[in-house]
């Protein structure tokens, strides 16, 4: 049974031995991990020589991108020291380089894109850059207090999944990547409501009840009108229906993104970083990842199982929730910010559970200025210890 469902993902990982499916050993590479073409070359070399067989390579962060786009501007991090440089062309294409270098090393390459974040930081981008925070503030989430979500020094402001123009913008963006680049897949992140928003950074010291209002989204005009039309109620009049409504908005947007991307490239694997506890994901962040697997809206999920105390219980709970039929579509996310022996234990537990494999967050934790740490070298040996290795 497991082989049948893993075979459905054969486009994701093919190996030289016929009818054998490789264990997924993916590595998250964030946009902070590279600034030059040589950085990308080093990243792919390190990934290929240290036991990984896929790279989740970030190309969208906060309404800016790391490839030439007709829809969103270049990120300022590639060309400057502040958001004033937003939109400046770095004269090279990080995603194209990543694809070339991954292909040369027989690595799978997935364009890793934050979905709902629209800006981050206390300084705004220049309006002439066309960046969405500067040009379309009405597209963003609104909190229970009626305030538009504010970006913070260490946090994003999110686009509302209810707003039709914001949705259309995101659909075009994912279709653009699928059409322009020969990637093996597109990997979604921050595809959830921001219930962990650090309101204290944006609003300072407030009473807990007031802070709670600034962590509850999205009460934007469009969402409230849609909900009133559907139910005849306000959110306070039917809280359960309101939560289902927000959950449904993400699922509907996912359908649209999937349709737009696969229309351009039907062989794409669509994956997502999701909450490690599926119940918390659905009830608190309105991310129904188990439903996404059941309905075939997501080909693969990466539960972000980063905490040692809850690792075992979350792994079991996620696998139990999706069931034996879909366990081959789960690749557990592991934090690299922990001792090697804990990494060894968690990898062994994942292999015992017989999921699709694992993904590691993140590159810079084990490669310092691209030099492998002791952990990287040991991890290479651990990863090699499987019958499914290439």
Q: Alpha-carbon dihedral of residues 113, 256, 284, 218, nearest 10 degrees?
A: 90
Tokens representing residue 304 in the block: 């972000």
Report whether 206 contacts 198 (CB < 8 A): no
At 12 the pLDDT is: 45
Residue 6 makes CB contacts below 8 A (sequence gap 6+) with: 21, 328, 356
At 22 the pLDDT is: 85
Report whether 217 contacts 141 (CB < 8 A): yes
Tokens representing residue 225 in the block: 């009108």
d(CA 123, CA 157): 13
Q: What is the 3-state secondary structure (H, E, C) of 117-185?
A: EEEECCCCCCHHHCCHHHHCHHHECEECCCCECCCECCEEEEECCCCHHHHHHHHHHHHHHHHHCCCCE
Q: Is residue 307 part of a domain?
A: yes
Report whether 132 contacts 65 (CB < 8 A): no
Give phi and psi for 68, each to the nearest 5: -70, 115
Rg (CA), the chain: 21
Residue 107 makes CB contacts below 8 A (sequence gap 6+) with: 44, 47, 48, 52, 53, 54, 55
Residue closest to 331 by CA, chosen among 344, 339, 322, 340: 322
d(CA 128, CA 118): 16
Domain that holds residue 73: 2-142+152-198+251-384
The tens digit of pLDDT for each residue in 192-246 reads 999 999 999 999 999 999 999 999 999 999 999 999 999 999 999 999 999 999 9
Q: Is residue 389 part of a domain?
A: no
For tokens 């921050």, what's the residue? 190
d(CA 21, CA 4): 10
Instruction: Go through the chain and tell me how many residues it has.
Output: 390
Mean pLDDT of the chain: 93
Q: DSSP assignment, residue 19?
A: T
| Domain count within the chain | 1
Residue closest to 29 by CA, chosen among 111, 119, 115: 111
At 386 the pLDDT is: 56
Residue closest to 145 by CA, chosen among 222, 226, 199, 205: 199
The tens digit of pLDDT for each residue in 244-293 reads 999 999 999 999 999 999 999 999 999 999 999 999 999 999 999 999 99
Report whether 204 contacts 214 (CB < 8 A): no
52 alpha carbon, distance to own chain's centre: 19
Q: Is residue 232 part of a domain?
A: no
pTM over 0.75: yes
Count Cβ atoms below 10 Å from residue 232 Cβ, excluding itself.
9
Tokens representing residue 317 in the block: 């709970």
Residue 207 makes CB contacts below 8 A (sequence gap 6+) with: none
d(CA 125, CA 63): 10
Q: Which residues of 133-151 are buried (b: 16+ CB within 10 A; e: fewer)?
A: bbebeebbbbbbbeebbbb
Q: Is residue 220 part of a domain?
A: no
Q: Is residue 208 part of a domain?
A: no
Q: Is residue 227 part of a domain?
A: no
At 385 the pLDDT is: 83
Give phi and psi for 220, each to the nearest 5: -75, 160
Residues of the chain with pLDDT under 50: 1-20, 387-390
Q: Is residue 229 part of a domain?
A: no
For tokens 């009840």, what's the residue? 209
Report whether 162 contacts 226 (CB < 8 A): yes
Q: Is residue 240 part of a domain?
A: no
Q: DSSP assignment, residue 14?
A: B
At 1 the pLDDT is: 41
Domain with residue 344: its CATH number is 3.20.20.80
d(CA 63, CA 87): 11
């Amino acid at each position: 049974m497991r082989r049948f469902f893993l075979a459905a993902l054969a486009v994701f990982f093919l190996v030289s031995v016929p009818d054998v499916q490789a264990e997924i050993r993916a590595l998250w590479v964030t946009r902070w991990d590279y600034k030059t073409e040589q950085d990308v070359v080093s990243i792919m070399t390190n990934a290929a020589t240290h036991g990984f067989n896929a790279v989740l390579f970030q190309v969208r962060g906060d309404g800016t991108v790391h490839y030439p786009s007709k829809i969103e501007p270049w990120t300022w991090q590639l060309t400057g020291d502040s958001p004033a440089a937003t939109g400046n062309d770095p004269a090279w294409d990080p995603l194209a380089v990543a694809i070339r270098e991954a292909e040369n090393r027989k690595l799978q390459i997935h364009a890793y894109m934050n979905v709902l974040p629209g800006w981050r930081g206390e300084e705004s981008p220049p309006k002439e850059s066309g960046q969405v925070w500067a040009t379309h503030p009405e597209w963003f989430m609104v909190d229970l207090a009626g305030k538009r979500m504010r970006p913070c020094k260490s946090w994003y402001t999110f686009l509302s999944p209810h707003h039709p123009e914001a949705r259309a913008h995101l659909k075009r963006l994912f279709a653009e990547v699928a059409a322009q680049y020969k990637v093996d897949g597109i990997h979604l992140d921050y595809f959830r409501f921001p219930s962990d928003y650090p309101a204290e950074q944006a609003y300072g010291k407030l009473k807990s009840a007031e802070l709670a209002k600034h962590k509850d989204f999205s009460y934007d005009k469009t969402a409230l009108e849609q909900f009133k039309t559907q139910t005849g109620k306000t959110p306070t009049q039917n809280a359960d229906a309101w939560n289902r409504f927000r959950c449904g908005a993400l699922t509907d947007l996912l359908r649209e993104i999937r349709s737009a991307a696969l229309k351009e490239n039907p062989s794409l694997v669509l994956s997502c970083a999701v909450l490690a506890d599926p119940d918390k994901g659905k009830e608190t962040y309105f991310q129904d990842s188990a439903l996404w697997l059941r309905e075939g809206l997501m080909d693969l999920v990466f539960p972000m199982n980063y905490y040692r105390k809850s690792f075992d219980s979350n792994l079991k709970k996620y696998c139990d929730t999706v069931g034996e039929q879909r366990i081959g579509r789960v690749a557990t996310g592991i934090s690299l910010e922990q001792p090697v022996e804990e990494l060894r234990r968690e990898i062994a537990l994942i292999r015992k559970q017989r999921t699709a494999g694992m993904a590691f967050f993140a590159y810079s934790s084990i490669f310092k200025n691209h030099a492998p740490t002791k952990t990287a070298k040991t991890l290479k040996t651990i990863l090699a210890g499987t019958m499914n290795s290439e």
